[in-house]
Structure 1
């Protein structure tokens, strides 16, 4: 192709210096750092803060870039600054791109729109740290070749335990896009609140939407279906896919408060925790819910939860309907009932032409391998990860240590999880997965990627939400994008310090690992989540 030939000529004529991981001379404050960075002599001078393209089909890609950069440099009388965006032949890795900064313009080439967007995101980060002289952007001359390590680079937010709303979620999506994270796992239902409008069952939000983890009497908080459509569009513009989670058969308390006829009964400390697996109407009810969910989320994946069912499963053993079901289906224990439930609901989802996603407890449920994604979260259960891999499930790595963002970041922090003194620092996340997963396991092709999970038992305020996310989201981005051989603590720390300045400009309340006292830990709630084993 022409642009590959051009790149080879640049190498010969301009003595291109390519670094496999770091370009110290340029001191580029990019996170995640590109796969290869070549430096050229001179500067790239751009005279306008906003960029345009003659390709109308690709112009939509510039919308997010121009919105983000609109306040960077104010030069309203500048002529239009065009960027060369081109789609070429497939490189085999979705999201890869080439970015070249010439003396007076920028070119980005990729084989897919996701790659062009990633290139624009890199350019956006270059803009954020660029020198401005007489209203002009001064960038280094660069040739960047870049591609992601993992296809799935995700973040999960729990809004059942505490609700944050559209503005906060959109801001989170902006930061995800800034760090090239491309999957948003949205935990919308759990024991403490149902946060998604379902037209056929309005009590799910009118009753199930009331309360939260800290205040059972709080007014109902939830997203309307119009809200969901708006946020899904917003994410799509940023090349982020949203995966909704409708948790079952456990963590169903809020739903069962709304429609108690589908409750699986009471267990010590876990009243109405499960759906009733022996009531045929339960499956009709859930299928109708999932039909509406499917129309709202075009990702083609619905997360069914499947975790911690054992907390409330004792109620099933006292239910005559469940005992009758076990006899009819020749089941010998309640775990088999749980698997029966998941397979039956899973069959309904598959009839929608959707794929399934579940937490790793569901690996033994017999769900169809070709249509099921598994979140491996129990780092103390490596056998569950190995089982998921050996059976051929598509696996997303999100172990509590080190990828749960509700764990504290420092030994001095008082609110949040610590397990036997262990916590999740930004460097623990940065060095994942090699610091946690054996190399022979990581080499398996059905490991699609990773995600960070934020459960919100201790999070009420946006201030604390930000404090738990930043700067660890930057570490997560590099863990998902950058190969281990290219990681370097000193280099990452230097780049991260520059990003802390960006947080300051955006008024983000973050934890500063280099000056821990700069932003004191905001404590919203402390009960029930101290040092745990």
Structure 2
């Protein structure tokens, strides 16, 4: 998986260039760069300087990160990095401005998030360029999208705390800020709920490959640890607790709340006709809300029709339909979503859901839609027409369980698949949004579903380098994206992944990286 010679040539190029032509080797690429001769040298000790108490966490984090790239921290050094919070004037709390000269660096932002990302730009330049200095000049930068996400499905196969932390750390290096954690689905329930312990002791048994595999799940202490780890890296974790469908694992544990299923999808749904079901799910969500500070909780809401056949003969559901004047099972589904959305509102949280929730008429002020069905452009249009903030994550090209090269066999296809270049070209490759619609696009997200992937090796291979392309598409504005520059900067990023023991598909030389054995 190595691309040694081109990387060495690039590093030699970076190290040997005359002072006035140092280049930035950063992904995602900053949106405005004004270069000046020379560079700020990190070989000597550096001193962080700030009067802002709210920046203590960022300073502590990057003091450690800078040591990783060969810099030393010296409180007496005259080589200073000034960190300053400028009140107002920035469109995004993640925006930042760097003024770099040979003697000092001034980094300003309106929020600690912006300071974090400005420091990450400096760190990545040192890490990837091979230099011990960063170019002089001015960098003014802000993200294209507020939501820059990656989703990992751990219901189908479980990967564990070490892998999740590594992914979050890599996301932070790439300025991705949202980790969507798919924790419950039909194969397994992966989050401890103290009020209902059988959800993990029974519901956590099995995976997509082996229904008898020992129970695997995260304890609440595990989750608190991972949430704190992510927060230090400015990554928000949005948990997904799937309902009313994809409930088979939960229903194994507590069958009294099952709405049934069918032969292919047994016990697939919760029972929307029982008040006890709503009490049960609300109790679960109260514990989830206590673990995750995110303003959003993702309730899924997708593919309910896969296994709701028994709703037709369920007495409690038929009574609900009569009582609430619901004319179809789809109406029952939407009633359920609205009711659970109201429960989230009572907990001071907002609903996130797949694009099926568009028809449920939940509030567009307290909901966000994840558009995933690339073959249903009308569903995206409905979401925007109804005023829903919308995250773009269409199967093609942003489902990373689709193959990324024509020679690959282990992965999905659907009249095509998602190459690195396809991810980089999105969303402008397929969408031309009006100004009004653009304001509703909350961001973009890559999703890794894991039916076909049961090891860290496969998670890495399917995720990288597509996550790198996703990061630049999510951060760098359309007019500043440049595929050739991106490919050049990808070479040292491959070396960085090697240093982290992270596998990847080398899209620039596919023959060097054969597909892992299933």
Please classify the TM superposition score into its range, dividing by the shorter chain length.
over 0.9
Aligned twin of 2:481: 487
Correspondence for 2:493: 499
Counterpart residue number, 1:64: 61
1:35-184 → structure 2 map (5 Å cutoff): 35-48=31-44, 52-55=48-51, 57=53, 58-73=55-70, 80=77, 82-90=80-88, 91-131=90-130, 137-184=132-179
The one of 315, 319, 335 aligned to 2:314: 319
Q: Which residue of the partner structure matches residue 5 of structure 1?
A: none
Q: Secondary structure at the match of 2:181?
A: strand
Measure how far apart 1:441 and its partner are.
7.4
Structure 2 CA distance for aligned equivalents of residues 387 and 32 of structure 1:
31
Provide the secondary structure at the position in 1 that maps to 2:293.
coil
Q: What's 1:307 paired with?
A: 302
Q: Does 1:222 align with 2:222?
A: no
Aligned 8 A contact 2:21 2:37 in 1: no
Query: Counterparts of 1:92 and 1:39 in 2: how far apart (Å)?
Result: 24
CA distance in 2, matches of 1:51, 1:262: 59
Instruction: Give the distance between the partners of 1:320 and 1:159, measured in 2 at CA.
Output: 34
Please, which runs of 5 or more residues in structure 1 have no aligned partner?
1-23, 525-533
What's the CA shift for 1:100?
2.2
Deviates more, 1:378-387 or 1:77-86: 77-86
| Pair 1:49–1:515, CA change in 2 (3 A) | farther
For the residue of structure 2 that corresponds to 1:444, the secondary structure is helix
How much does 1:68 deviate? 3.2
Tell me what 2:188 maps to.
193
1:145-182 Cα distance to aligned partner (Å, 9 max, x none): 11111111111111101111111111111111101111
Q: Cα deviations across residues 338-365 of structure 1 (Å, max 9, x unaligned)?
A: 0111111111111111111110001101
Does the 8 Å CA contact 2:22/2:38 hold for their aligned counterparts? no
Q: Residue in 1 aligned with 2:14? A: none
Partner of 2:455: 461
- Residue 529 of structure 1 is matched in structure 2 by none
Structure 1 stretches of 4+ with a deviation exceeding 4 A read 48-51, 74-81
1:32 alignment counterpart: 28
- Give the SS at the match of 2:327: coil
Structure 2 counterpart SS, 1:522: coil
Residues 1:130 and 1:413: Cα distance change in structure 2 (over 3 Å)? closer
Could you tell me the TM-score, scaled by structure 1's length?
Answer: 0.90
Q: In 1, distance between residues paired with 2:517 and 2:435?
A: 38
User: Is 1:412 equivalent to 2:407 in the alignment?
Assistant: yes
Whether contact under 8 Å (2:36, 2:136) holds in the other structure is: yes
Counterpart for residue 5 of structure 2:
none
The CA distance in 2 between the partners of 1:114 and 1:300, in whole Å, is 17
Aligned to 2:510, the other structure's residue is in SS state coil
Contact 1:49 1:72 in 2 (8 A): no
1:207 aligns with 2:206: no
Aligned to 2:6: none
Shift of 1:442: 7.9
Q: Distance in 2 between matches of 1:332 and 1:186?
A: 34
Equivalence for 1:450: 444
Q: Which moved more, 1:355-364 or 1:441-450?
A: 441-450
Aligned-pair distance for 1:300? 1.9
Q: Which string of whole-angstrom CA distances, capped at 9 and with x for unpartnered residues, describes residues 320-343 of structure 1?
A: 222222222222211001011111
Q: Is the 8 Å Cα contact of residues 49 and 70 (structure 1) preserved in structure 2?
A: no
Give the TM-score normalised by structure 2. Answer: 0.92
Match of residue 6 from structure 1: none
Q: CA deviation at 1:522?
A: 1.5
Matches within 5 A, 1:431-442: 431-440=425-434
Matched, 1:350 2:345: yes
The Cα shift of 1:48 comes to 4.5
Q: Which runs of 5+ in 2 are unaligned?
A: 1-19
- Deviation track 1:75-114 (CA, whole Å, cap 9, x = no partner) reads 6999655411000022122211111222133221111111
Count the aligned residue pairs: 496
Could you say which structure has the higher helix fraction?
A: 2
**Aligned equivalents of 1:403, 1:68: Cα separation in 2:** 30
Cα distance in 2 between the residues matched to 1:25 and 1:309: 58
1:478 aligns with 2:472: yes
Per mean C-alpha deviation after superposition, the further-off stretch among 242-251 and 50-59 is 50-59
> CA offset at residue 279 of structure 1?
1.3
Closer, same or farther in 2 for the Cα pair 1:179/1:74, shift >3 Å? closer
